[in-house]
Structure 1
Amino acid sequence: MLRRFRSLNSIAVTATHFAIILLIILCGDVDSLYDGNTDRGLYVLTEESFNPTVYRHIGPNRELRTESNLWIVQFYNSWCGHCIKFSPIYKALANRTQHWSAYLKLGVVNCADDLNRDLCTRFGIRQTPVLRLLTTGSHPANKGEDVEVRHSTTNLLQTVLDVMEYQRTPRELQPLPEQRVGELWASLPRSVNEVAVIVEPIGSHVGKEALLHALPNLHAIALRRAHNNNRALLDSLNVNERTTFVMFLDRLHPDEKGLVTLESLSRNSDPVAVFTNAIIRADTELTTRLRIQRRPQLGPVYGDTTSPAVRRPMQMQVHSASSFTLSVQTAVSGQDLNSAVLYSLSNEIARHNDITGREYETLKAYVTGLIKWVPVRPATLTALRILETSLRRGNGITGAEVTRLLRASNLNVDSGAIEWDHCKGSVPDRRGYPCGLWQIIHTMSVRAYEAGLLSAATVESNALAANGVLTAVIGYVEHFFSCGECSRNFMKGVASLRRNQVVVSNADAVLFLWRAHNNANRFLAGDLSEDPAHPKQQFPTLVQCLDCRNSADPQAQTIVWNEGNVLRFLREFYGAKRSAGATFVLE
């Protein structure tokens, strides 16, 4: 039991008072948020498959290039909470656009996979999730252009439609220039006698999407798009519509025009589906008259396309307390610390091509902090000291050089060496590294605080100073932590701290980081990225430290913390006197 603190045992509350609900997750090992066999319209890419899938030998010199279609590739980390949240959105986009493959293909690369480390480094992936656009004719040396990550399927689809229009892929997506109907017919092959023109306001996405849904299914009708400010075209057609509509024109019967408008739709109609179906129906009627055999119709396959990454069913089983013992972590795990250090070195720092300037100073401070304050295995400590020596001699380093130094010290930096203890998730891709990084952060800050109490002369008293422990932690999260949204949210709290304080004591640094962690837990509670067997809670829990709260009511909406007791608890949990990995059991 933790010294100085009452546990629930001390007030005669035992596990026999609880009915424990366990989540039994029926799933095998899954090392990716995406499955190329079941996620329609997605290419799951690896270092080995990327070039053969994305590029082709083109031209007389047989150069590797992308073909006439665009590629959008998502680079992600399978442990990243925001990547997990984004995965159903990206899957829904892939399903909705799967039949656009002649113009657009979507891929994914898991940067948490050792096998993809060099690929993610090649594309300069530092934070995830990242969407990269590879345009027509892109060379393998091209890192692509960033596409904004949107947090709804509708917004992401609209962004992709705008990208495709800007890239003129397919050409039918480009709005017609100012021209009369005669000029339109002159621009089409003589063999084409019918054309459908989608007219919509600038900024609308209805016509763009309908065009792309219809285009792969057309055999005889030409399809074009125009803006509703194209007066030359609309005046020549005697049309005054200002909303989105589809006009059907016949070269041989110019007086016969068909018109489908938004106003003609019922209130609950999906305009994209109505316009798409109207165009395909007109093409079907024409191919029937011309006796042209049609291909099977292509389109989205709606269904379970937005399900979480863990697809297999979960069963709830209720166990009585008499058959269950509750293990409560009472100290940081040395195994979690060592694994988190290995991952941060080999999968985050090593992915940076060039580390100079502020990043270089941050790396030096971080490595020095690890050596001073974080207990790791002897082989890891030796590698850290070799890296620290190299960093002191120079003013820049590459991620590849970091990896070389680690391997030269005989440190195993492959994923097989990374094993989680208390940070192990109950399902794949949950907890793991984010949990481990928090353990590093708290351990560094607590042990720097303790060292300052023992010998103030050897430890910087201002945690925000250039060589302060908080500066090292902040620098790592800002420059190297690869969960982009996590880093940005953390830095918002840092910005607020810096506005109000210039000097932060090491004790206050410990509490600032503790509050930041609890804020993250509060934000992510109930989120798709949450481990079902380890729900996000405010730390420490009532079981771990009853005296850390001014109220023992577990149903209280607002927790009033006793921060003096919290600080003492954190010293007990992360401090140098604790035996790493210790637990106690409620019986």
Structure 2
Amino acid sequence: MASYRYLYFFATILILVLPWLGLNCKAELYEGITNIQSLNNDTLDRYLVRSNRCWLVQFYSSWCGHCQSFAPTYIRLGEDVAGWKSVIALAAVDCSDVRNVPVCRRHHVDAFPTFKLVNLMSSDLSKTAIVYDGEKNIQDMRTAMVDHIIKQHWNRNLPWLHFVKFEHFRALLSNMLPIHHAAIVIFEDSHSYLGRELALDLTSNKEMIVFRVDRNKKLLSAKFHVTSYPSVYFLHRNSKIVKIAVKSNSSRKLYVKSFKNMGLISSFKLNSTNQKKTDLHNHHLPSVAAKVNIIDLDSAITFAFRRELCLKSTLNKNETLALRNFVMILSKCYPGSPRRMKFLQLLYKWMNKREYLNQISTEQITTFIDSMNASLPKKIVWSKCMGSHSHLRGYPCGLWTLFHTLMTQNCQSNFGMAMDRRKILYGVRNFVQYFFSCQKCRYHFLKEAATISSTVKSNDDAVLWLWRAHNKANSRLKDDKSTDPEFPKVQFPPLYLCPTCRLPSQSYNDSTIKWNKDNVLKFLQKFYSDIEYNENGAELPLHVNYVRAPSGSGVIQMGWDVSLMNTVDISFCIIMYLTAGVIIFYMYWYFCTRGKYRKLCKRKITY
């Protein structure tokens, strides 16, 4: 009976704990990465304020394609400078997590990825942290980290990274003996970073000290018989000098390898530029949604207003005007429910009254949105834009879908006339310029948008321009790490959705597709005007249905059906869950007490 009691106990724990583990799991780009500290709104100040080391912090968004592409580089950087942890460490903050929006706004982060270098013993991060805007590669970022350390007020926690003067060298060696067993002496040019980086690599060895010597110091060079630069020497406390022999002009990697072989430093992984690239993408094409779902449109607007907009503390006059114009376009063209349209119209009137202001607080906007009962969904749910992982597709897909949908609607201006779609296109461009936080994506879109004035002369041109821009983005990103391997980037519309959109003799995978623009225009207007709603016209449809590609089209057939639960369903599940927990505990108590009762009975019978 005792074994059964333990069995019931562990079954109870598993049943009660496992569901919550599943609910709380969240996919992050740097989850479980040893050399990168994941921070959030609660822990950032605890780690960084008055820290005894410097920090390089990346503020990123898990939906940002450029952030996803850069993640492997940042991870390799963490491996490359793992030996520097006691002096400077790496951290990351996911600003797409709604809980981290306050800390990202406090640090004035409105573009991703943003990198900030935090000073040693800094007390006010928002004012003293330095934005790194250099090249996003390992070498340049490592150099910036070294430069940042050199600028700090020196203390015992920092290695001495400057050149040693000749008159101080003998005194430093004499002072070295009681504390350090050996020294590394590096002869190099003044512009070289090798010695500084090796000094940081050796910070983990407290029995070692590093001296950098300028190659122009001829007396010291003659003492060590230096003939080439850079040269690295190992100096033991018994004055024995050993040159660390590596090839001339060797990289830091070979010197570190020699240090490891000599037992001077512990092992850590250095970046290798010859790493093999793994192909994450399958060579099949999944099915494409047959209709636009209102869930994706609502979620795109919700994400824009509740996540992206909140990253800014205030909007200047240009940003306020761009947002007002975009809200005006939404209030005229958005194919939402009457309740959603009423909210957008009220929001436009509210912003129109504040057009004259030089700046407006985003808190005022969010307060007004929250004051409207059920103005926007509280939870962001993706339907046709759902990715195979939580950080894939989602907002970028929903935003593109929203832009295309707005372009193809029959909108009316304030004077009752049809709205010029070129005005909608300019509104989309300005929204991306000021409120799309992925820097690289924004750059490419604005670069393409520079051609609008010269190429877009009519409403049809506006629709086709946005379609071409989206296909160019798909072509550029088809082999990017941010692409969902289950949803490869393809030229839209695919052959099986619109066979007449391509000129004859065009294959599905042809990289030089020739389009029938008249048929493409008709397809786009029909596709983005056919919105999928609930049967009762509510914003959230009951099911998500994916169309299957016809046989013989060269596309693997696939699809899924996702059921969405409303508040009543969730409440019922919680009640059932709690009821099941009570029943299990009762059964556990019942069998435990029954076993004790049987033992007592046996004892009484024995006596």
Normalising TM by the smaller chain, what interval? 0.7 to 0.9
Q: Name the structure 1 match of 2:444.
A: 489
Q: Could you tell me how far 1:328 is from its partner in structure 2?
A: 4.2
Give the Cα–Cα distance (whole angstroms) in 2 for the partners of residues 165 and 69 of structure 1.
13
Instruction: Tell me if the contact between 2:183 and 2:234 (Cα under 8 Å) persists in the aligned partners.
Output: yes
CA RMSD of aligned residues (A): 3.6
- For residue 402 of structure 1, the aligned residue among 330, 351, 365 is 365
In 2, distance between residues paired with 1:544 and 1:307? 40
Residue range with higher mean Cα deviation, 387-396 or 110-119 = 387-396
Letter in 1 for 2:268: P
Distance 1:167 1:539, change over 3 A: farther
Structure 1 residue runs of 5 or longer lacking an equivalent are 1-26, 56-65, 284-296, 319-325
Aligned: 1:388 with 2:348: yes
Choose from 569, 572, 576 the match for 2:523.
569
Structure-2 residue corresponding to 1:293: none
- Cα displacement (A) at 1:329: 2.1
Matched, 1:347 2:331: no
Specify which of 251, 254, 272 is matched with residue 271 of structure 1. 254
Contact 1:127 1:483 in 2 (8 A): yes
Residue pair 2:146, 2:196 contacting (<8 A) in 1 also: yes
Distance 1:413 1:116, change over 3 A: farther
* Greater C-alpha Rg: 2
The structural deviation recorded for 1:155 is 4.0
Alpha-carbon spacing, 1:495–1:215, altered in 2? closer, same or farther (3 Å):
same
The reply on whether 1:156 has 2:141 as its aligned counterpart is: yes
1:305-330: CA deviation from partner (whole Å, max 9, x where unpaired): x999xx9x999999xxxxxxx86423
> How far, CA to CA, are the matches of 1:316 and 1:438 in structure 2?
23
Offset of 1:389 from its aligned partner?
2.3
Query: Which one of the candidate residues 287, 292, 316 is aligned to 1:356?
Result: 316
1:419 aligns with 2:394: no
2:33 to 39, 52, 59: 39
Q: Is the 8 A contact 1:168 1:174 kept in 2?
A: no
Q: 2:211 corresponds to which letter in structure 1?
A: R
CA–CA distance in structure 2, aligned partners of residues 184 and 475 of structure 1:
63
- SS state of the match for residue 329, structure 1? coil
> In structure 1, how many angstroms separate the alpha carbons of the residues matched to 2:199 and 2:108?
35
Distance 1:586 1:487, change over 3 A: closer
Pair 299,268 (structure 1): closer, same or farther in 2 beyond 3 Å: closer
Gaps of 5+ in 2: 1-22, 534-543, 551-607
Aligned counterparts of 1:585 and 1:277: Cα–Cα separation in 2: 57
Cα deviations across residues 196-218 of structure 1 (Å, max 9, x unaligned)? 22222234333232222222123
Taking the aligned partners of 1:380 and 1:455, their CA distance within structure 2 comes to: 19
TM-score by length of 2: 0.75
Closer, same or farther in 2 for the Cα pair 1:189/1:214, shift >3 Å? closer
- The 5-angstrom pairing of residues 551-566 of structure 1 reads 551=504, 552-566=506-520
- Give the drift of 1:514: 0.8
| Equivalent in 243, 266, 270 of residue 229 of structure 2 | 243
Aligned counterpart in structure 1 of residue 200 of structure 2, from 185, 205, 212: 212
Cα distance 1:361–1:174, how it changes in 2: closer, same or farther (>3 A)? same
Does the alignment pair 1:100 with 2:100?
A: no
User: Structure 1 pair 340/229, CA: closer, same or farther in 2 (3 Å)?
Assistant: farther
CA distance in 1, matches of 2:452, 2:144: 35
Q: Distance in 2 between matches of 1:379 and 1:201?
A: 69
- Please say if 1:469 is aligned against 2:424: yes
TM-score, length of structure 1 as denominator length: 0.77
Q: Which letter does structure 2 place at the counterpart of 1:246?
A: V
1:293-308 equivalences in 2 (<5 Å): 298-301=266-269
For 1:263 and 1:585, the matched residues in 2 are separated by 60
Q: Which amino acid aligns with 2:364?
A: E
Q: 2:458 aligns with which of 468, 493, 505?
A: 505
Matched, 1:338 2:279: no
- Whichever residue aligns with residue 420 of structure 1, its letter is W
Compute the displacement of 1:251 (Å).
6.8
Is residue 185–residue 213 contact of structure 2 (8 Å, CA) maintained in 1? Answer: yes
SS in 1 for 2:183: strand
Partners in 2 of 1:504 and 1:436 — Cα distance? 27
Q: 1:406 to 1:259 in 2, by over 3 A?
A: same
Question: After superposition, what is the alpha-carbon deviation per residue over 1:489-513, rounded to whole angstroms, capped at 9, x for unaligned?
Answer: 1111112444x45x64222121111
Q: 1:583 Cα deviation (Å)?
A: 6.3
Residue number among 417, 441, 463 corresponding to 1:458 in the alignment: 417
Higher relative contact order (CA 8 A, sep 6+): 1
Instruction: Determine the structure 2 residue equivalent to 1:518.
Output: 471
Instruction: Read off the aligned partner of 1:512 and give its amino acid letter.
Output: W
**Structure 1 segments of 4+ aligned residues over 6 angstroms from their partners:** 313-318, 454-457
